[in-house]
Amino acid sequence: MPTSPPLWRLERHAALPSTQDAALQAAHTGEPGRLAVLADLQTAGRGSRGRSWASPPGNLNLSVLLRPGTPRIEPGRWALLAAISLYEALGLYTDGLMLKWPNDVLLHGAKLAGILIDSQPGKGGFVVIGLGANLATAPQVTGRQTARLPPPVPPAAIVAARVLAALDEWGARETGDLVEAWLARAHPVGTLLDVKTARRQVRGAFAGLTSKGELRISGEASVISSAEVFLA
């Protein structure tokens, strides 16, 4: 008979510079996995690619520390797991959600939530997943449309609990199952995407994901493991 995972240890703060940095510090000092750090306010929140993440009061600012127990870390798996879990939690409060590779949850095409992943492989390795969502306020972001949940706005602590429950549920699945579940919640195959990697820019049709969660673009011989993606 399968056993239930250990309970999450939740640290809640009125304010932090960054929940992600707090969880990373805990990871480096040997804190066990299944730690969740929640802050009502972040003063130096981090987004992907070195950007700042606006964190006004009422929004979700959550980071979790996991220790997979294997020397090898599969970044694609954790990105899929985080996206599905955030989608499931937010989907209880609104329709019109869609996942966009690699780390966005969209509401009617505008950014509602994002994910940041830091990891360290090897013995004692870890994964720290940052999950931010615009529950009460949609901050202005240059070049991006943003969205917030429709009222009534749920408390961030309730949404965080639902995210943790979804991480438990979906974390027990194989990576192939996560790929399938992600695709069912994402923009359709054939959607035109603008993809910016470290070396080049590509415009092409979305052709699905690999078994590891890498991006496929129609007509491209190689898969994409890291990039910034926009709906064209």
Q: Find, among 81, 56, 64, 85, the residue nearest to 156 by Cα.
A: 56
Least confident window among 26-30, 67-71, 190-194: 67-71
Q: Which residues contact 224 (CB under 8 A, 6 or more apart)?
A: 195, 197, 202, 214, 215, 216, 217
pTM of the model: 0.93
Using alpha carbons only, give the angle 195, 197, 199 rounded to the nearest 5 degrees.
130
Contact 134, 147 (CB under 8 A): yes
Domains of the chain in sequence order: 9-184 (3.30.930.10), 192-231 (no CATH)
Q: What percent of the chain has pLDDT over 70?
A: 97
Buried-exposed string 112-151: b where 16+ CB fall within 10 A, e elsewhere: bbbbbbbbeeeeebbbbbbbbbbbbbbeeeeeeebbbbee
Per-residue pLDDT at 50: 63
3, pLDDT greater than 80: no
Q: Sorting pLDDT into bands at 50, 70 and 90, what band is 74?
A: confident
Stretch 76-86: mean pLDDT: 96
Q: At what angle do helices 75-90 and 156-171 cross, to 10 degrees?
A: 130
Using alpha carbons only, give the angle 107, 112, 113 rounded to the nearest 5 degrees.
130
Contact 114, 59 (CB under 8 A): no
Stretch 63-82: mean pLDDT: 90
49, pLDDT greater than 70: no
- How far is it, in rounded angstroms, from Cα 92 to Cα 232? 28
Q: Sorting pLDDT into bands at 50, 70 and 90, what band is 27?
A: very high
Q: What is the mean pLDDT of the chain?
A: 92
- How far is it, in rounded angstroms, from Cα 42 to Cα 45? 5
Per-residue pLDDT at 45: 83
- What is the C-alpha end-to-end distance of the chain, expressed in Å? 48
Least confident window among 59-63, 76-80, 122-126: 122-126
Whether a cis peptide bond, with omega within 30° of 0, leads into 102 is yes
53, pLDDT greater than 80: no
Residues linked to residue 117 through DSSP beta bridges, in sequence order: 129
What are 221-226's contacts with CB under 8 Å, separation 24+? 224/195, 224/197, 225/75, 225/76, 226/102, 226/197, 226/198
Per-residue pLDDT at 107: 98
Q: Sorting pLDDT into bands at 50, 70 and 90, what band is 2?
A: low
